[in-house]
Amino acid sequence: MNLEIIKVNKKIVIIFPVIIITIFVVIFSLDQSEKNSNIIFHVTLADPGLYTNGIYTDTFTINRGDYSLRFVPNGSSPTVLSITLNGDNLDFFEDFKLESVSHQTGVSEYFTWKYNGQKIILISEMQEISIIINPNGNVMGSVSVDILEN
């Protein structure tokens, strides 16, 4: 009888964590798809061929509303990333500065990276926007840039 209880307990010990992990993965996936659903503009700059004379340019249409810039940088990303947004009723410019953040775990140290600067953009009416991204000479460092609707 005790062997049967031990076998059942072993199954519970194995199955329960798998169920919990599965629930977290599903919740995280739903959260990520919700976050990605409000992406208005996206580019990953990792190839010098995306730049003309060292500068990336594109145009897109944007509706009235509140937006924010999101970056996915790494240690090789440009130390200064200049972004200009121009439209009929928009004139935005910011030099974003790359900052490393040290994290101590007790046994090791690792770094994450973030861009500091004004990331909020207010659009007064629907318009066509021209985006200019200048990596200030570092066309080899990768970085993703998103404009998200808030």
- Are 5 and 79 in a shared domain? no
The amino acid present at 16, given as its one-letter code, is: F
**Beta-carbon neighbour count of residue 142 at 10 Å?**
16
Angle at 29 between CA 23 and CA 33, to 5 degrees: 150
Together in a domain, 17 and 66: no
At 74, which CATH number?
A: 2.60.120
Q: 50 and 88: one domain?
A: yes
> 59: domain range?
40-149
pLDDT confidence of residue 10? 62
48 and 111 both lie in a single domain: yes
Q: Are residues 51 and 29 in the same domain?
A: no
Residues 63 and 91 in one domain: yes
CA–CA separation, 68 and 93 (whole Å) = 13
46 with 33, same domain: the answer is no
Give the number of other CB atoms < 10 A from CB of residue 118.
Answer: 13
Query: What residues contact residue 93 under an 8 Å CB cut-off, 6+ apart?
Result: 82, 83, 84, 85
User: Is there a single domain that holds both residue 31 and residue 101?
Assistant: no
> Could you tell me which residues come within 8 angstroms of residue 69 by beta carbon, excluding any fewer than 6 positions away?
83, 96, 119, 121, 145, 146, 147, 148
Distance CA 122, CA 110 (A): 35
Shared domain check, 125 and 54: yes
Per-residue pLDDT of the chain (150 residues; tens, 9 = 90+): 555 666 656 665 565 555 555 554 545 554 554 555 799 999 999 999 999 999 999 999 999 999 999 999 998 999 999 999 999 999 999 999 999 999 999 899 999 999 999 999 999 999 999 999 999 999 999 999 999 999
Tokens linked to 129: 């926007």
Tally of domains within the chain: 2
Q: Are residues 143 and 99 in the same domain?
A: yes
**Pair (140, 88) in one structural domain:** yes
Q: Cβ distance 116 to 99 under 8 Å?
A: yes
Give yes or no: residues 33 and 74 share one domain: no
